[in-house]
Amino acid sequence: MRLSRTIAAALITTLTAPPALALAGEQTGTPAPEAAATPPEDPARARLKAEAIAGVERQGKLVQEMVDSVYSFAEPGFQEFQTMEYLTGILAKNGFKIERGVAGMPTAWIATWGNGGPLIALGSDVDGLLGLSQMPGSPELKPQVAGAPGHGEGHNSGMPLVIAAAIAAKQVMEKNKIPGRLLLWPGVAEELIGAKAYYVRAGLFNGVDACIFTHVASEFSTAWGDTGNNAAVSVEYTFHGKTAHAAGMPWEGRSALDAVELMNAGWNMRREHLPLSQRSHYVITDGGKQPNIVPDTASVWYYFRDTAFASVRHLFETGNTIAKAAASGTGTTVTQRTLGYAAPNFGNKPLAEAAWANIKAVGMPQWSAGDQAFAKSVQQANARELKPLASEISPLSTPDTREKSTGGGSDDIGDVMWTVPTITVRYPSNIPNMIGHNVLSAIAMATPIAHKGAVQGAKAVSATVIDLMTTPALIAAAKTFQQTVQFKDQRYDPLLTAEDKPATHLNAEVMERMRPKQKPFYYDPAKHRSYLEQLKVAYPAQ
């Protein structure tokens, strides 16, 4: 669709220069050094941003096709091969140079375009989750392929948003001869906290001036400061013992499974004496082969999480100590492998303020009566608290407006945040009051709700890219904030060593079994206007 003259005029009025760039003290209320003078209002920049927003609107059909296609591929971490081929193909057709297999990960890639000027990175996650296959548009829980992965976090929508925003910004920059460069990248294996720390270690963000990351939500928002996402480390402990006949000669054996169970018991006892902010959880990935053979190998996979670099390092070291004690107590030995890492999240204030001004200008999607009816039917069918799709954007989240975090989830975008000035833009492509990492969060992710939210998010991101490309003071302020506020008390301190490698073997066996069953469900946009149409799913559900 085209922007009406009334809407365009309103945008030109609203989309003025970014907000004040002088830095205030972050959480303490103490003043920080001034980064740059606030630039005057600039109608010319507002017109460029309105052009970019119109460019996103023209891509509405492409966004729908990308969101639905990636949903249909339903690939978990490190197995995003079909997703990679599809998305990089679209970018290559639009003039981006593609480099695949970056940072030692076969499904990781970057797409670059431009010359001179600022280098702005744009990224979002692309991986699904094991066992969360779900028929989109069905309020009731109904797997497409029993036991297969699915997009129960909504990661199928983020890179389509980013790609639409990048194409729109690129078109404006080419037309108006604006110097600048774009670097697009996917968050592969985010659910395994498996990639971004390796991206940073490989230097993918060297020379980047600022980064905008996006994540699916049911609201439209952004934040600055410590956003409460925990640091985390993913580590697998493998115990080595000795086999024996479990009934005839058990004394000849040394059970690696006993060591795993002893470690888990020791960790669970230690939890009582750890800070409330910590989160830790594990799965036994190898418990032996059969009951009458004393297991000579057994493995357990842990995530340790806490709010700061030092505290998650303490958890990691405590886990290592308990593992060694369990090995000693069972007459076994233990080896460990760090699989992934995530730094605590810290959003950049000048970038967040600029992005939030654009979020405020573009506003929420225009939900139809059908969209609201569908959201209500999903909530009712699954005993969730009723809450309509949001009609207003969320306030800018700051250290003064949000409650202090007592711990919770992680996102490895934190590693990028501690490397270059970065923010996360949360866009409204899902239904309120769903459960994360659950099939409930997949139901809406190939419906008009997901499509509209991604388009609206792309508008705000494209406008913010134009701000960054045309406002040197904004980039300067973002870098000053990072140096003087973010780095005041902490510096990037990852747990990865030079010997640690991405765990690209994960999920390979699952996809070898599941991909042939999933392929018949791949979306074909050449034959069907939407994925729901291909699946013969009525929307909203009748």
For 212-229, what is the HEC assignment?
EEEEEECCCEEECEECCC
CA distance 260 to 273: 21
Tell me: pLDDT of 349 over 70.
yes
219 and 91 within one domain: yes
* Ramachandran sector of residue 109 (left: φ over 0; alpha: ψ -120 to 50; beta: rest): beta
19 inside domain: no
Tell me: pLDDT of 384 over 90.
yes
Predicted local confidence at residue 1, as pLDDT = 42
CA distance 354 to 123: 18
State the DSSP H helix or E strand holding residue 175, giving kind and residue range, or none if neither: helix 158-176
CA distance 234 to 213: 22
The CATH number for 377's domain is 3.40.630.10
Predicted local confidence at residue 2, as pLDDT = 44
Tell me: pLDDT of 23 over 60.
no
539 inside domain: no
11 inside domain: no
CA-derived radius of gyration, the chain: 24
Alpha-helix runs per DSSP H in 39-101: 43-58, 60-73, 81-93
180 and 73 within one domain: yes
540 inside domain: no
Nearest to 537 by CA among 407, 467, 448: 448
290 and 249 within one domain: yes
* Ramachandran sector of residue 59 (left: φ over 0; alpha: ψ -120 to 50; beta: rest): alpha
Chain centre distance of CA 312: 20
CA distance 401 to 23: 17
Cβ pair 429, 154 in contact under 8 A = yes
Examine the fold and report which residue of 342, 360, 380 is the final residue of a domain before the chain moves on: 342
- The pair phi, psi for residue 213, each rounded to 5°, is -110, 150
196 and 49 within one domain: yes
Tokens 């492998």 belong to: 337
Examine the fold and report which residue of 314, 342, 370 is the final residue of a domain before the chain moves on: 342
Cβ pair 150, 134 in contact under 8 A = yes
Distance set, CA 455 to CA 16, 261, 314, 343, 521 (Å): 21, 49, 42, 29, 24
* Average pLDDT, integer, range 150-166: 98
Number of structural domains in the chain: 2
* Average pLDDT, integer, range 404-429: 92
Predicted local confidence at residue 33, as pLDDT = 40
Strand partners, 217: 428
What is the pLDDT of the chain when averaged over all its residues? 93
Cα torsion 42, 47, 52, 57: sign: positive
- Which residues have a Cβ under 8 Å from the Cβ of 156 and sit 6 or more positions away? 67, 70, 71, 73, 126, 128, 445, 446, 450
CA distance 61 to 394: 27
CA distance 56 to 52: 6
Cβ pair 428, 217 in contact under 8 A = yes
CA distance 503 to 194: 7
CA distance 217 to 155: 10
The CATH number for 293's domain is 3.30.70.360
Domain boundaries, position 104: 43-227+344-496
475 inside domain: yes
- pLDDT tens-place string over residues 269-285: 999 999 989 999 999 99
Nearest to 219 by CA among 480, 514, 433, 378: 433
- Which residues have a Cβ under 8 Å from the Cβ of 531 and sit 6 or more positions away? 68, 69, 71, 72, 136, 446, 523
Helix, coil or strand: residue 462: helix
Nearest to 445 by CA among 185, 132, 55, 87: 132
265 and 218 within one domain: no
Helix, coil or strand: residue 504: coil
Helix, coil or strand: residue 452: helix
How many CB atoms neighbour CB 114 within 10 A?
22
483 and 367 within one domain: yes
**Do β-strands 210-217 and 422-428 pair in parallel, antiparallel, or remain unpaired?**
parallel
Residue type present at position 114: G
- pLDDT tens-place string over residues 79-101: 999 999 999 999 999 999 999 99
CA distance 469 to 192: 33
527 inside domain: no
439 inside domain: yes
236 and 326 within one domain: yes
Examine the fold and report which residue of 342, 368, 389 is the final residue of a domain before the chain moves on: 342
298 and 374 within one domain: no
Predicted local confidence at residue 342, as pLDDT = 96
Predicted local confidence at residue 29, as pLDDT = 37
186 and 51 within one domain: yes
Q: What is the pTM of this model?
A: 0.93
Lowest-pLDDT range of 57-71, 298-312, 397-411, 513-527: 397-411
Predicted local confidence at residue 294, as pLDDT = 97
372 and 301 within one domain: no
Distance set, CA 29 to CA 368, 478, 488 (Å): 43, 18, 14
373 and 482 within one domain: yes
28 inside domain: no
Structure tokens at 494: 């990852």
Predicted local confidence at residue 409, as pLDDT = 84
205 and 85 within one domain: yes
Q: Judging by beta carbons within 10 Å of its beta carbon (0-12, 13-18, 19+), is residue 94 exposed, middle or buried?
A: middle
- pLDDT tens-place string over residues 92-149: 999 999 999 999 999 999 999 999 999 999 999 999 999 999 999 999 999 999 999 9
Q: Is the peptide bond before 19 cis (omega within 30 degrees of 0)?
A: no
Predicted local confidence at residue 358, as pLDDT = 97
Cβ pair 388, 372 in contact under 8 A = yes
Nearest to 197 by CA among 396, 453, 427, 493: 493
Express as a percent the part of the chain with pLDDT over 70.
92
